[in-house]
Structure 1
Amino acid sequence: MKQIVVVGAGPAGMMAAIKAAENGAEVTILEKMKKPGRKMMITGKGRCNITNAADVPEIIRNIHGNGRFLNSSMRAFDNQDVIYFFEGLGVPTKVERGNRVFPVSDKAQDVVDAMVERLHELGVAIETDTAVKDILTQEGKAAGVRTKTGAIYKADAVILCVGGASYPGTGSTGDGYEMAKALGHSIAAVRPSLVPLVAEDEWVKDVQGLSLRNVRGTLRVDGEKVAEMFGEMMFTHYGVTGPIILSMSRTASEYLAEQDRFVELSINLKPALSEEKLDARIQRDFEKYQRKQLGNALVDLLPHKLIGPVLDSAFLAPDKPVHQITVEERHRLVEALQDLTLVITGTRPLAEAIVTVGGVSVKEINPKTMESKLVPGLYFAGEVVDVDGYTGGYNLQAAFSMGAAAGNWCVWND
């Protein structure tokens, strides 16, 4: 019976342990936190977006950080397999907008509890409050691990699933990068993804907490469009967040890491309307509120908090009577409504990111088995690997697919 040690009890680690145990291995999970699945508990705002119901090629396209690396592992254990897996554990699922798959209960706790119960059924030992210091090798092969207290766990294979460097309070503190690096692995530069953006514009503080739906965000760098998303966003005291912002943040962080790049976010508040139709809509409102001041004539068109920033962007005074607005001023208002611009100066810290960009280089990992090409018997899965995707269940799917591959092949490989 093979002895397998899994380092980390997140989604990838628990899936790897389950698959290894189902294949007859004796498995031990070492988890530094007090409970397994800490980061899973906060995914999907506590609802756990376990996967996406799109077809596999579409999922891979939405894993913009080395998605093609997952071709083999995801086809071996795809999104339908994930759904069947959880439904088999008594966690029924549902599909919501954007093909996002959630447990019917809307409780991440149910997902974690189901995996932990399956681990117990299989006789997997879960040792919490146990932080691993380094991976041991013998004759060039992985032979076990040493904990920070000096305890040694011998193994025929080690699966490293300690996560990235985001949300360190859940246990993802970047430890895995150092362990892998010590064995000769290259670590792709680490930076935040799925993270809020920081704006220099003071007015965002006045509109903090305001959510917008059905808007189009365009990220521009030095005046050139580099990303565009349609959907929801929200203003905060430091800048912007929400689904479309998080999805564009990976691109933003890439350019922000370079010197002397001017990054800005353009918000089209009325993307469903052409300039002509929006102008016609404004004229109707002006006719309705012709005896009012401009600032009071936009209440049907905009949330109250945004009227000031939009008028400032259009260089229009809120107290100017509507009947005095010129055609040229009205056109400036149309432009401001469809190109409300913020200067982006940074991202929130990596500790606040949902996902880490970077990690163990995929060039040094067998994409079919997840085994290290440098150290036989060492496997990787999850966010410690240089793989990351958009919001929508793609990152958890990647973790489950990699974990399943590592858990299967660590037993099947000689």
Structure 2
Amino acid sequence: MSKVIVIGGGAAGMMAAIGAAYNGNTVELLEKNDRLGKKIFITGKGRCNITNASDIQNHFANIMRNSKFLYSAYNNFSYEDICNMIESAGVKTKIERGNRVFPESDKSSDVIWALSKMMKDIGVNVRLNKNVTDVLSDASGVIVKCFDGKDFMGDKCIIATGGLSYPSTGSTGDGYKFAKNMGHTIEETYPSLVPFNIKEEYCKRLQGLSLKNVTLTIKDENGKVHYSEMGEMLFTHFGISGPLVLSASAYLSDTLKKHQYVGYIDLKPALDEEMLDKRILKDFQDGINKNFNNAIEKLLPKKMIPVIIELAKINPYKKVHEITKEERENLVKIIKNLPVHISGTRGYNEAIITKGGISIKEINPKTMESKIMPNIYFVGEVLDLDAMTGGYNLQIAWSTGYLAGNSIY
């Protein structure tokens, strides 16, 4: 049996420690924070979207790139395995819309508690406030150097330090530094699943307004469509956020410097322009003597009406029976194509995950061991693996972490 040192007490690290301890190894888990699972604690808005209860094909369809690399990891530890493991520790789970799995209590702290309990029960030695500065390895074993000067020696080391997203949780790119020192290739990193900054000032005026069942279409400077989906979004003081926007960022975050992207929000995707025009005419007919700004109250959220009126360039106090066909056409076009010019993302501070990382070409997919450095394993977000929202990113962490630990004897 081996002495295994796991660096990082997040999802991938705790799962790696559990997998290694199950095999009878002696396991030391080093966490730089004063508690485990700081990032798990804030996932799913504090509820922890543990995984997604769908088949492997659906998981792979929601992984942005390098999904084939995960075949062994997913076959070794599936979404069913993590659900069963959490429940065996006493935390019941439930399935919600989109097959998203959450703890029944809606408390992410329960998931952290379950993992901590499992580690304690199988003898994992957890050491908090351990800031690792370097990892050295050769054929004889590994040395993990710490900031406090108290180094650790072992046979194997699993690096689960996360990416760069939410640096306040301790994800500050340490694993990239360790890997680069070992000769690994680091694919360029970008914040992903992250809100967009928008140039239009009216976003700030619409701050707090949530839209449901709208379509967001994003085009580049040549008019090519890069993203188009229906769903929910939110206006903020800096721009736009919400599920639609976070998903869009997964496709666009690594090309924002190459293109000038413009988003178009279709506020009435169920109606084409002709149908929308008829709907507007009906509203006008129902309030034929009303001012224009009062005649579209049923059509749009109240907060949005002044913005739409300005963009359509129609006098808000004009009587509806005086509105020209051309003005009505402008109104339809704005409602179907509300423009938002993207100036960038909110960065790693607000990104759910990191796109990019350690090249998977240099990692053995059957064990997660480095092909470059003996006795070193990399798992979770530190690798060049990222997925959409819905529990897929945590499943990557669970599966790669468990496979690495389970591969060590």
Residue 327 of structure 1 deviates from its aligned partner by: 2.2
TM-score (norm. length: structure 2): 0.97
Deviation readout 1:179-208 (Å, 9 max, x if unpaired) = 010000010111100111000101111110
Amino acid at match of 2:320: V
Residue 251 of structure 1 deviates from its aligned partner by: 2.4
- Which residue of the other structure, out of 333, 336, 347, is the alignment partner of 1:335? 333
Alignment of 1:245-324 (within 5 A): 245-258=245-258, 261-324=259-322
Distance 1:142 1:177 in 2: 20
Residue 252 of structure 1 deviates from its aligned partner by: 2.6
Amino acid at match of 1:401: S
- Matched residue pairs, number? 408
Deviation readout 1:258-316 (Å, 9 max, x if unpaired) = 2xx22111111111222222222111111112111111111111111111222233232
Distance 1:315 1:128 in 2: 60
Distance 2:195 2:366 in 1: 34
What's the C-alpha RMSD, in Å, of the aligned pairs?
Answer: 1.2
Equivalent residue number for residue 47 of structure 2: 47
- Cα distance change, pair 237–142 in 1 and its aligned pair in 2 (3 A): farther
Q: Is the 8 A contact 1:40 1:48 kept in 2?
A: yes
Bigger mean CA offset, 190-199 vs 330-339? 330-339
Residue 90 of structure 1 deviates from its aligned partner by: 1.3
Deviation readout 1:59-106 (Å, 9 max, x if unpaired) = 111111322221221122111111111111111111111111111100
Distance 2:38 2:194 in 1: 19
Identity of aligned residues (%): 48
Q: Is the 8 A contact 2:197 2:343 kept in 1?
A: yes
Residue 227 of structure 1 deviates from its aligned partner by: 0.8
Distance 1:312 1:37 in 2: 47
Q: Is the 8 A contact 2:141 2:153 kept in 1?
A: no
Distance 1:23 1:72 in 2: 18
TM-score (norm. length: structure 1): 0.96
Residue 41 of structure 1 deviates from its aligned partner by: 0.1
Gaps of 5+ in 2: none
Deviation readout 1:116-151 (Å, 9 max, x if unpaired) = 011000110000000111111124x65131111222
Residue 242 of structure 1 deviates from its aligned partner by: 0.5
Equivalent residue number for residue 96 of structure 1: 96
Equivalent residue number for residue 57 of structure 1: 57
For residue 72 of structure 2, give the secondary structure of its aligned residue in structure 1. Answer: helix
Q: Is the 8 A contact 2:48 2:107 kept in 1?
A: yes
Equivalent residue number for residue 190 of structure 1: 189
Residue 246 of structure 1 deviates from its aligned partner by: 0.5
Q: Is the 8 A contact 1:63 1:389 kept in 2?
A: yes
Distance 2:266 2:408 in 1: 50
Amino acid at match of 1:23: N
Q: Is the 8 A contact 2:64 2:250 kept in 1?
A: no
Distance 1:324 1:71 in 2: 64
Distance 1:281 1:101 in 2: 40
Distance 2:232 2:66 in 1: 26
Distance 2:374 2:284 in 1: 72
Distance 1:67 1:300 in 2: 46
Distance 1:393 1:175 in 2: 24
For residue 29 of structure 2, give the secondary structure of its aligned residue in structure 1. Answer: strand
Q: Is the 8 A contact 2:131 2:146 kept in 1?
A: yes
- Cα distance change, pair 336–142 in 1 and its aligned pair in 2 (3 A): farther
Equivalent residue number for residue 225 of structure 2: 225
Equivalent residue number for residue 235 of structure 2: 235
Bigger mean CA offset, 314-323 vs 207-216? 314-323
Amino acid at match of 1:170: T
Amino acid at match of 1:187: I
Distance 1:289 1:376 in 2: 77
Q: Is the 8 A contact 2:164 2:171 kept in 1?
A: yes
Distance 1:67 1:257 in 2: 25
Distance 1:95 1:331 in 2: 44
- Which residue of the other structure, out of 362, 365, 369, is the alignment partner of 1:367? 365
Deviation readout 1:235-265 (Å, 9 max, x if unpaired) = 001100001100111223222122xx22111
Amino acid at match of 2:309: L
For residue 32 of structure 1, give the secondary structure of its aligned residue in structure 2. Answer: coil
Distance 2:141 2:243 in 1: 40
For residue 352 of structure 1, give the secondary structure of its aligned residue in structure 2. Answer: coil
Q: Is the 8 A contact 1:21 1:27 kept in 2?
A: yes
Distance 2:385 2:220 in 1: 24
Distance 1:213 1:386 in 2: 32
Distance 1:60 1:342 in 2: 31
Amino acid at match of 1:30: L
Q: Is the 8 A contact 2:16 2:401 kept in 1?
A: yes
Amino acid at match of 1:185: H
Distance 1:72 1:281 in 2: 54
Distance 2:279 2:293 in 1: 16
Does residue 66 in structure 1 map to residue 74 in structure 2?
no
For residue 402 of structure 2, give the secondary structure of its aligned residue in structure 1. Answer: helix
Equivalent residue number for residue 214 of structure 1: 213
Distance 1:226 1:340 in 2: 17
Residue 33 of structure 1 deviates from its aligned partner by: 0.2
Equivalent residue number for residue 169 of structure 1: 168
Equivalent residue number for residue 9 of structure 1: 9
For residue 101 of structure 1, give the secondary structure of its aligned residue in structure 2. Answer: strand
Equivalent residue number for residue 84 of structure 2: 84
Gaps of 5+ in 1: none
- Cα distance change, pair 142–246 in 1 and its aligned pair in 2 (3 A): farther
For residue 285 of structure 2, give the secondary structure of its aligned residue in structure 1. Answer: helix
For residue 6 of structure 1, give the secondary structure of its aligned residue in structure 2. Answer: strand
Amino acid at match of 1:359: G
For residue 38 of structure 2, give the secondary structure of its aligned residue in structure 1. Answer: coil
Equivalent residue number for residue 204 of structure 1: 203
